[in-house]
Structures are given as structure tokens and as C-alpha cells.
Chains A and B, each alone.
Chain A
Amino acid sequence: MSLLALQRDFRQWLDIESAEAAARIGEHAAPGLSVYLNNYRSALMACLAESFGSVKAWIGDDAFEGAAATHIERQPPYSWTLDDYALEFPETLDAIYVADPEIGELARLERELGRIFVGKNADPLDVATFADIDWESAKIDFVPTLTMIEVTTNAASIWSSLAEDKRPPDAEMLPRPASVAIWRVAFMPTFRTIEDSERQAIEALAGGATFSALCATFVEAHGETEGAALAGRLLSQWIADGLIAHIRAQSFQPDNRAARTCKNDYRVAE
């Protein structure tokens, strides 16, 4: 038997426990193949349990084990790193718990918190450079770990309670769908539920819009005073939250009214 044929048989044994493949591997191989099968399943089960501790606490050990077994059946591992095996588990939970959307959302939050734990580092923002920033041309770079997920339930509150060993609230639907921004401050993953307007602002800036363009959008939507105040509040919040990695600007051009308005507002907020 060629090496490739042997390895395909091993795969079939581990993936679908094929008796034919096991027989081809060796007449006396059964005890050893059982060890490898146990190792394979144990490693995947342990990976999921470690990656989704809050989901496990929320649905209970037996239910979690059943869900993990279903995931192992439907999704063989493909990546060199076991960390990647956790990525699609929320979709498996969605399929199993159709009537309990908080479970998949809790898993998505937990997956992202785990993913950004080893994400790219960002240097702390140097607030001392703000005096020189031309806010008209300023572009904002968020920290590289920033990601957002959509939620329809109070999964974020459930996660927080479980993380603090408190009794979690009952699952409930939010009045309207929301987003959770997830990022890392220094080495500590963190998150905050955000309004639609903030999500759209983050997406616009992450897509390359200038801060003055964002201000102009807000001024158009909410009027000059309220629009500028909203932009200023968001900027202040992002700085305080450690969400911003850099503010990039070209040369100072003082004749853009929206930018000036936002700049002044930011100074008040600061």
C-alpha cells in the first residue's frame, strides 16, 4: 500500500470510523486504531470545551458534549492549528438550537474574544500629538483586533454574568438587533454593545472615510449642533476605550466648516 493510500485510510478511520479502512490498515491494528480514534476525538472535544467555556456553562456539560460531537461529525478539522477548529462551532450551535439564538450569539462573542486574544498588537495612541492634527483630512485607524458581531439577544449580558460567576439573566430578545464591538486593550480582550449609528461610523472610517466626512454625514442627518456633538462624543469614547490605534492626517486646511465644527466639539469633549 502506498503512503498516500494508507493516510487516506487513516483519515477515513478517524473521520467516519470506516471498518473497511481499518481492515486495510492492518490485521492486528484494532487496539492501536482505537487509541488514535480516542486521541482524535478527545483533542477536538477539549479544543471546543476550552474555547467555549461560557457556552458550556450556559447549556450544561451534557448538552455541550452532544453539540461538540455533532460538530466533530459535520466538520472535520482542516487547519494546522486547533484554534481554527473553534471558528465554525457557532454555526453548528445555530443549527442545533434554532429556537435559542442566544446560544450561537454567545458562542460568536466567545469565539471573537478568543481570536483577538492572540491578534495583532497595537501601540498605545499618543494623545500628545492631537494638537497638530488637521481634523479635515484626519483618518482614523482602529486597533487591528477590532471586530463587530450582530446580536438579537442579550448574549453579551449572559457572557458578562458567567465571566463574573454571577447568576446569568434569562435569555431574551433585544428590542431591536444591535452590534457588539470587540477589541483588545493591551493584552485584555473587551467588548461593548453599540448603536447602529456607531457601527456605521466605525465601518465608514475603517473603509477609509475621513473624520470630516463622518462629521458632515452626522451634520446632515442631525443638524449642525447635534451632528457635531455626536461625532465628538464617539471620538472621545473611542479614545477612552482604547479603540483607536492612529489618527493620520495630511496638512492642515482650515476652511472646512464641518471639520472645524467637529474639531471644536472634540476639544470640548476632551
Chain B
Amino acid sequence: MLTQHQFGLGLRKPHYADFLDGEATVPVDFVEVISENFMVEGGRPLDILHRVRERHPVALHGVSMSVGSADGVDPDYLRRLRSLADAIDPLFVSDHLSWSRIEGFNSHDLLPVPYTQEALDIVSANVARAQDVLGRPMLIENPSSYVSFTGDMTEWEFLAALCARTGCGLLLDVNNIFVSATNHGFDAIAYLNGIPAERVRQIHLAGHSQGRDLLIDTHDKPVPDSVWSLYAAALARLGPVATMIERDDDIPPLADLLHELDVARRVAVDEKRLAA
């Protein structure tokens, strides 16, 4: 459990030198890396991760666990992730409420899960299995989605039930809530009110783009005002969390992202004042 808000950034290749060179450390409380990029045997990327880890706590964020797969989670994947986690001693290990693999086919995308009792049983079993292998609780991130299904419950009800069944925590992606709420016409505030606030350990903030018919979760722009507003609303409900800016494309200089992170810090301070 965190005792106060923390603020971090995704560690991306253009910023490796910023994080490793010089005497001064980058002013972040933690960094997050994409787990799969470092689930390798050796070489420079892994060396860089170990050197960054000497300076900062590291959160491992996966994109390929596929906890929504009807045919289960890949044991080889879990073993490799466990090995990385043992080496890094991460702040968190997280992945998405989605699926990417089925029967030997891997889409390498975060595909949506229907919010049905059957899917809840399968996802719960997969998350429980992953946590057993990893030897630690995971954080599950709410996805952005472009297709919705008729289900037995809402996404936030599904996440609440998943947390209750498996003991996992939540990585709340505020941008994803905004994107999915816009695409599927649900109330983002109702979402925030429906999630188990005490399970939220981490927050992602990012930008999105307007596609032809739908909002697309592109992570290639600064966090927009609409997402900052939703972030403020989220913080009003949550205890101390680790907030980070997630930028994966059109990556700007590190100084720009640190500036955005300062905005997050100010929002947190303002929320604390309001609460007092």
C-alpha cells in the first residue's frame, strides 16, 4: 500500500539516456516498462533496465498475458514474467482486462471481453493462475474498446467482481474510461463510482485521437482537458495511488512529459485541498 501519491513515467527508448546519464536522477517516483520488451535472455535492453532499477522503482506493465483467453494463460509466458519480476522486484505487475491469443493465434492487440458470468469465471481463473505463478497480486487495467457486447454486467461491475474473486488490484486508465465511455455511451462518473476504489493502486493518463467513427486510444498526444477533469474526479474517490503519463507514439522530449506530470501533481494537490 502506498502512503502518499506517487508520480511516474513510462520508460521509453528515446529517454534511456536521460534516465541513465548524469548525476541527477529524473524527478519521478517510479518508472513503468512494457514487460515483454525485457522478457529476454540478455543484451543491452535488459542491462538498461537493471541500471534504471538502481535509480528508480520499476512497475512491470504487460500487454500479452491475455487474461481473457478462453483457453487459458500461456505457462511459458508466465514463467518468463516471473523470472523478470524476481530480477526486478517491481513496484507492480500489471496487464489488461482483454485477450490477444486463442488456440495458437496471437493478435498482438488488446481485444475486448464480453462482461458475462462465463467470461468472469474464465478471467478470474486466469488471473488467479497468473498470480499463483508470479507469487504476487497483479493489477488489472481497464481497456479502451471499440466493440461492446450484450453482457450480464457493466465493465466496472465485472472489475469489482474480478477483484473480489482473485484479490487482484486495479490499474485505472482514466483515458481508457473516457474513450470507452464516449464510444459506448456510458457515464464515466458512474464508472468511477462503481469501481472498488480501495483496489486502485495505479493510474494511467494518456491522450487519444478522433477516428472516423470512434475515439481511438493512440497514446500519441498530451493528456487532454477532458481526461484531466476525469482524473480529478477519480482522485476525489481514491486513496494514495501511483499516477503516470503513458506516451507510446510521437514521443516528445522528456522535459515535456515531466511538465505534464507536474500538472498531475497539481491536480492531486488541488483535490487534497478540496477534500480538506
Bound together, the chains give a CA A77 to CA B64 distance in angstroms of 13
Bound together, the chains give a CA A202 to CA B43 distance in angstroms of 23
Q: A2-B118, A7-B69, A33-B147 are in contact. Are A77 and B105 (CB under 8 A)?
A: yes
Residue on B with the closest CB to A76? B105
Q: Is the CB of A121 within 8 A of B108?
A: no
Most buried by B among A32, A76, A184, A187: A32
Bound together, the chains give a CA A44 to CA B107 distance in angstroms of 9
Q: Is the CB of A82 within 8 A of B108?
A: yes
- Decide yes or no whether B212 CB sits under 8 A from chain A: yes
Q: A2-B70, A33-B147, A80-B36 are in contact. Are A11 and B43 (CB under 8 A)?
A: no
Stretch at the interface among A95-103, A112-120, A220-228: A112-120
- Decide yes or no whether B253 CB sits under 8 A from chain A: no
Stretch at the interface among B44-52, B170-178, B236-244, B264-272: B44-52
Q: A8-B102, A26-B149 are in contact. Are A31 and B213 (CB under 8 A)?
A: yes
Contact string against B for A residues 63-107, beta-carbon threshold 8 Å, 1 for contact and 0 otherwise: 000000000000011111110010000000000000000000000
- Decide yes or no whether A128 CB sits under 8 A from chain B: no
Q: Is the CB of B43 within 8 A of A77?
A: no
Interface residue tally of chain A, by bracket?
35 or more
For the residues of A in contact with B, the DSSP-based class is helix
Stretch at the interface among B18-26, B109-117, B127-135: B109-117
- Decide yes or no whether A6 CB sits under 8 A from chain B: yes
Q: Is the CB of B147 within 8 A of A32?
A: yes
Most buried by A among B42, B107, B211, B216: B107
Interface residues of A in 137-164 (CB under 8 A from B): none
> What are 22 A-B contacts defined by CB distance under 8 Å?
A3-B68, A3-B70, A3-B113, A3-B119, A11-B103, A29-B147, A31-B214, A32-B145, A35-B146, A36-B107, A36-B111, A36-B147, A77-B106, A79-B106, A80-B64, A80-B66, A80-B77, A80-B106, A119-B40, A119-B43, A121-B43, A187-B47
Q: Which residues of B contact A (CB under 8 A)?
A: 36, 39-47, 64, 66, 68-71, 74, 76-77, 99, 101-109, 111, 113-114, 116, 118-119, 122, 145-149, 183, 211-214, 216
Known pairs A3-B118, A32-B214; list 8 more (Cβ under 8 Å): A2-B118, A6-B149, A31-B214, A33-B146, A40-B109, A76-B105, A81-B36, A119-B42
